Amino acid sequence: MGIIEKETRKLNCEYGAIFGTYWMIYAIVSSFASVFMLARGYSNSQIGITLASANVLAFIMQPLIADYTDRSKRLGIIGVTELMTALMMVFTIGMFVFKGGTVALCVVFVLLIAFHTVLQPLFNSLAFKLEECGLATNYGVARAGGSLAYSIFIAILGTLVEKFGIVIMPISGEIICALMILCLVLTRRTFKKNLAMGHPPLYSSSSAEDGADDESINLVQFIRRNKTFFLVNIGVVGLFFSNAILNNYMAQIVDAVNGTTEDMGRILGIMAFLEIPTMVFFKRIKKYFSCQLLLKIAAIGFTIKIALVWIAGSVWMLYVAQVFQIISFALFLPGMVYFTDEIMSRGEAVKGQALFTTMITLTTIFSSLLGGWILDVAGAKTLTLVATIATAAGAVLIIAVIDKVQSSRR
C-alpha cells in the first residue's frame, strides 16, 4: 500500500471517529434528555419547551457560525469545531452542579443541544475541506460509522443509566467530548502533514467553472444567488416533518398500535442500523446515478415510509415501514451533502450545508410544538396523517425543482 493510500485511510478513520463521537453525544443530550430531566423533576411540558428553545437557538446560530467559519482565516472549520466542543464540555459540568428542576439546568440543556446541532453542518463541510490536502474523503462511510456508533452506544447507555443512574450521562458526555477533541486534533495533524507534502487538492465542487472558488459572500447574497436551491430546502421542511415526528413521538405511535417500550427501542435501533449500508456505499452509488435522481428517489421513500406508519394497524407494520429508511433518510442525507458541494462555490460551501441543516432544525421546532398539540387533541393516527400530507408536499416540491438548481445559478 502506497503512502497516499495509507494517509487516505488514516484520514478517513479519523473523520469517521469524529462522526462516531458526534452521534454518541447526540444519544446523551437529545435521545436521553427526557430521561435526565424527568429524573430532575421537570414536567413533560417543561421538557418540550426546553427542547424547542434549544432548536430555536440552533436555528439562529447555524447561519451565523457558518458565515463566520467561511470568512475566518485564523480558526477554520477544525478550529471552530474544537472550540465549540470544548464549550460543550464546560456546559456539561452544569449537569453535575445544578440539581432539581432549575432554570439553570434548562439553560445547560438548551446550550448543549444547540451547540451540538450547529456542529453537524460544520462536520458535513469538513469532508470537502480535508480534500484540499490531496486525500479523498468518504462522507457516506463516515456518516454510517456515526449511525453504527449511535445504535451501539444508545443500547449501552440505557443499561448504564438503569444500573448507575442518570449521573452516568454527564460522565459519559465529558469522556466523549474529550474523545471528539482528540479526534479533531489528530485530523488537523494529518491534514497539515499532507498539505505540507504538496499533494494536489481534490476539490469535489464543480463550481470552479464560474470562477467563484475563493469568493466569500454574506447570507443575504447567498439566498439571492441560490433561489431555486432555497426552494429545495423549503421542500426539506415538508420532507423531514415525518422524520422529526417519528424521532420525537415514536413512543405514542407505537402505543397507538398496542406496542411496548421494547418495541419502540427496537424500531429506533432498526432505523439507525438500516442507514448504514446505503451510506457506506453511497459514493459508489453516485457514480452510476446523479445526486438529483437519488434525492428524488429518497423523497418518494420518505413519503411511502410515513404513509405505511399512518395506515399501520400493528407493530409488525411499523417494522415493515422501517425498510424504507434505506432509500429515504439514508439516501437523502449524503445525497444532499454531495449535491450541495457539487453546485456551490468554495465561498458558499459551509452556508449551503448550514441552510440544509437549518431547515431540518426549523422542522424539528415546528413538529415538536405542532405534533404535541395534535397528539393531545386528535391522537397518533391524525398526527401521522398530517405528517404524510406534509411529507408528500415536500417531496413534490423537491422533485419539481431539483433539476433546475444548476441552471438557475448560471
Helix axes 329-343, 291-311, angle to 10 degrees: 150
Extract the C-alpha cell encoding 263: 418495541
> Which tens digits make up the pLDDT trace of 374-385?
878 888 899 999
- Contact criterion met (CB below 8 Å) for 322 and 270: yes
Q: What is the residue-averaged pLDDT of the chain?
A: 83
Pick from 136, 145, 125: nearest CA to 72: 125
> Which tens digits make up the pLDDT trace of 169-178?
899 999 999 9
Instruction: Return the H-helix or E-strand segment holding 192.
Output: helix 168-196
Handedness of CA 258, 150, 37, 57 (dihedral sign): negative
Extract the C-alpha cell encoding 65: 457560525
Q: 214-410 sits in which CATH class?
A: mainly alpha
CA distances from 86 to 93, 141, 220, 349, 364 (A): 11, 26, 30, 24, 25
Question: Helix (H, G, I), strand (E, B), or coil: what is residue 165?
Answer: coil
> Which tens digits make up the pLDDT trace of 199-232?
665 554 444 334 444 455 666 777 778 888 889 9
Lowest-confidence pick of 109-118, 207-216, 242-251? 207-216
Cut 0.85: pTM above it: no
DSSP string, 37-48: HHHTT--HHHHH
Task: Give the fold, CATH level 3, of 1-202.
Answer: Growth Hormone; Chain: A; (1.20.1250)
Percent of the chain having pLDDT more than 70? 90
Extract the C-alpha cell encoding 325: 429508511
Domain residue ranges of the chain, discontinuous segments joined by +: 1-202, 214-410
Measure CA of the first residue to CA of the last residue in the chain; give whole Å: 42
- Decide if 1-202 and 214-410 have a common fold: yes
Overall size of the chain counted in residues:
410
* CA angle (250 as vertex; 30, 353 as ends), nearest 5: 50
